[in-house]
Structure 1
């Protein structure tokens, strides 16, 4: 019996260790694109990716429960509380859903309860990674994922398809849009913002000449596929990322960043922008892309501001989708209409009639959370995002370890780029896990203050 207890104790210690959470994160990151290749080989598009994240949910919540039961004298952090609240409100949304069949048995690109638990657990795992080499290792895996996705996406722009497009197939294939291993160009647009911010960020801040050259080439390839997916939301994400870089570099100049390092970053940023400009010209002139989306944008704005006053047509009908969703909030404000069950916002609306357009996603992650999971969940999610941003910024400005500062800086750029494009995109099970990992990386517990820190610090100062 003592031997069994000893082995169990050792096992529990192992699955709650920093190393376990590290391998847990990178396993999910790599499995998502790689398993899709095998799925497609057997004509099963988008089959394993939701299941991988669901398994991550079961594994993650088990490890986290064991962590708190085994280590009862540990310090607690705001992220621990937010993890619990995220789970509770997601569960309540699933329990009080208006459509139990869709919420509990939906498929296609629906998100199941334990998909969300997988997201939350990946975030929690990211907060547990303190070791600098492991944090760098996660960024290296981001580079690997970028290479895999970008190569597949680049081949698609040449008419070479390894995987099947999930929907809008004829249109996407005809225009040779890139969608990587995510099955749709909009989904790839969101992921490509994260990948581009990561690889270009490493290019800007790395000390290694070899890594600098490699990541520059990868980031330019990624940017080419980002433009080739022709998702305007990706442009929003890149614009937010570049604004973040400009603002953060300005702040760091006044905060005393070494002049030589600042000059080096600015030179690299200029080189990056030149590369982006050349790729943009190539995509427009040679590939004949982007101009159609620009004309569509101009047409939508003209229609919205002209005599037709068609505001609902903005963003390829996104305003129309948001309007139907927001109508459901007053009556179902607490826990929403049902976990990832946005389509009921149309089907249960008195303004909706047969033959009208409906959509299963909110095309705005924040509105989607509000409509499907309610006000409490949205507040919890936004609190997490604000806390991640504040913590990340603080640890870029005040971190004494230069390498750790640059890791935080890279991750923060990824965070702001994705958060901006999420205003127009949907949470998708094979894309959003990467963002939740990014949030966790911003909130490493060594960068947070635990509950009671202020009190203890005050006592220590007095002593």
Structure 2
């Protein structure tokens, strides 16, 4: 019996090791786009991806529980508390939902409770990755995803499709828009912000000349497909990333950062901007992109709030109208469409409704309630503060660059989230990024100040 217990304990120890969390993250990252290729070959679009994230949810939840049972005397960190609170409020939203059938059995591009647990599990796994090489390997996995997605998206811009598209087929097929392996242009636009920020960041910070040149080419191709998705939310995210980089370089100069390295980064940043400008000109002159979207934006701004952002204003207004009635735990986990169906003043049909708020923050507020909204916003603020502190004060230059790259990805994606709700096959990458910014050594554990005070008094 003791031998069996020892073997079980050894297995559980390996399951909660840094190495296993690393493989857990990378498996999810790579399998999402790869399985869509095989789904498409068998005319089963968007079939495997939600299931993979659901599996990640069951495994992530199990690993989270086992980790704290197995290691009872470890230090606890704010990220651990956020994981628990996020799950609790998501569970309460599912329990108090106004439409149990949609919450428990919805598909289309709905998110289940298990998918949310997958997000939180991936974030928790990211916080467990401390080894510098493993962190660099995860950035390499982001590059691999960029290559896979960008290859498919580039071919689509020339009318060559290795997979079919389930949503808005006529618009996408007639315009040769890029949707990669995500099934919709807006989804790809959101993901491409994260991928472009990653590849551009590596280009800016790497000391390897070959890596620098390869990543520059990949980032430019990624930016081309980002533009070719014609998702304006991607423009917002990219602009936010560029502003972030400009401000952060200014801060580093003020902090008297290594002048030679900073000068190199600034020079590469200008090269990046020059390349992006050339790509934009090519997209306008040779592919006729961007101009129609600019004209549409101008028309929307002149047509009132409801027309703003492809009628996002009207969607936001409807969500805010119904929020006060379901303020505590929301209208139901990922049941945004019910803000129409439960409104006595609504007399349209499903064709004029929206299944998403097209604003990630409003989506949390309306579907999961004020407590989850506060938790989510607090997590993002905490992540930003911890990441900025880590970039500025980290004495290891390689670690500083890794965190700088991840912070740029986080900022770009968080900005575009004001105009979009990405879904189950996109959001895992964002939650992994958050977790990677909140490694345990980047945070202060609970009782940190009390412990420091005791040490000071002893001295």
Look up the match of 2:83. 83
Q: Distance in 1 between matches of 2:128 and 2:436?
A: 9
Which residue of structure 1 lines up, in the alignment, with residue 266 of structure 2?
266
SS at match of 1:374: helix
Matched, 1:443 2:411: no
Match of 1:416 among 400, 411, 420: 411
CA distance in 2 between partners of 1:78 and 1:446 (Å): 12
| Structure 1 residue 249, shift from structure 2 partner | 0.5
Question: What SS does the corresponding residue of 1:423 show, helix, strand or coil?
Answer: helix
Q: Indicate the residue corresponding to 2:130 in structure 1.
A: 130
The equivalent of 1:31 in structure 2 is 31
> Which of 423, 426, 429 is equivalent to 1:434?
429
Deviation track 1:297-342 (CA, whole Å, cap 9, x = no partner) reads 01111222xxxxxx10100000101111111211110100000000
Aligned to 1:59, the other structure's residue is in SS state helix
* Distance of 1:4 and 1:46 partners within structure 2: 42
Query: Does 2:297 align with 1:339?
Result: no
Matching residue of 1:369: 364
In 2, distance between residues paired with 1:417 and 1:442?
14
Residue 349 of structure 1 corresponds to: 343
Offset, 1:164: 1.6
Residue in 2 that maps onto 1:308: none
Query: Equivalent of 1:459, from 442, 454, 459?
Result: 454
Partner residue in 2 for 1:186: 186
CA distance in 1: counterparts of 2:421 and 2:173, whole angstroms: 22
Alignment match, 2:10: 10
Q: Distance in 2 between matches of 1:279 and 1:256?
A: 34
- Stretches of structure 1 lacking an aligned partner (at least 5 in a row): 305-310
What is the match of residue 296 of structure 1? Answer: 296
Where does residue 166 of structure 1 map in the other structure?
166
User: After the TM superposition, which residues 47-446 of structure 1 pair with which residues of structure 2 at under 5 Å, given as runs?
Assistant: 47-304=47-304, 311-355=305-349, 357-446=352-441
CA distance, structure 2, for counterparts of residue 235 and residue 175 of structure 1 = 19
Q: Deviations over 1:358-412 (max 9, x none)?
A: 0101100000000000000010001110010000000000000000000000000
Spell out, residue by residue over 1:138-184, the C-alpha distance to the aligned partner (whole angstroms, 9 max, x if none): 00000000000000000000000011212111011111100000000
TM-score in terms of structure 2 length: 0.99
CA distance in 2, matches of 1:364, 1:85: 21
**How many angstroms apart in 2 are the aligned matches of 1:121 and 1:427?**
18
Query: Offset at 1:351?
Result: 2.4
In structure 2, runs of 5+ residues without a counterpart are none
Q: Following the alignment from structure 2 to structure 1, what is the Cα–Cα distance between the partners of residues 238 and 246? A: 12
Query: Matched residues in 1 for 2:455 and 2:209: separation?
Result: 44
In 1, Cα distance between equivalents of 2:319 and 2:201: 36
Listed one character per residue, the Cα deviations across residues 220-261 of structure 1 (whole Å, up to 9, x for unaligned) are: 000000000000000000000001001100001111111100
CA distance in structure 2 between the partners assigned to 1:166 and 1:327 by the alignment: 31
Superposition TM-score, scaled by structure 1 size: 0.98
Contact 2:142 2:195 in 1 (8 A): yes
Contact 2:360 2:421 in 1 (8 A): yes
- Aligned equivalents of 2:97, 2:157: Cα separation in 1: 41
2:190–2:422: 8 Å Cα contact kept in structure 1?
Answer: no
SS in 2 for 1:331: helix
2:22 aligned residue: 22
Shift of 1:3: 1.8
Tell me the C-alpha RMSD between the 2 structures: 0.7
CA distance in 1, matches of 2:43, 2:176: 21
* Whole-angstrom distance in 1 between the partners of 2:339 and 2:42: 36
SS at match of 1:349: coil
The 1-side partners of 2:379 and 2:345 are apart by 35
The structure 1 segments of at least 4 consecutive aligned residues displaced by more than 3 Å after TM superposition are none
Deviations 1:177-232 (A, max 9, x none): 00000000000000000000000000000011111011000000000000000000
Q: Distance in 2 between matches of 1:425 and 1:382?
A: 16
Aligned length: 457
Offset from partner CA, 1:340-361 (integer Å, 9 cap, x none): 0000001111221124710101
CA distance in 2, matches of 1:192, 1:410: 15
SS at match of 1:329: helix
Instruction: Name the SS of the counterpart of 1:327 in structure 2.
Output: helix
CA separation in 1, counterparts of 2:272 and 2:376? 33
What is the CA-CA distance between 1:461 and the residue it aligns to? 2.4
Tell me the alpha carbon deviations over residues 401-431 of structure 1, each in whole angstroms, 9 at most, x when there is no partner: 0000000000000000000000001130000
Listed one character per residue, the Cα deviations across residues 424-460 of structure 1 (whole Å, up to 9, x for unaligned) are: 0113000010000000011011110000001111222
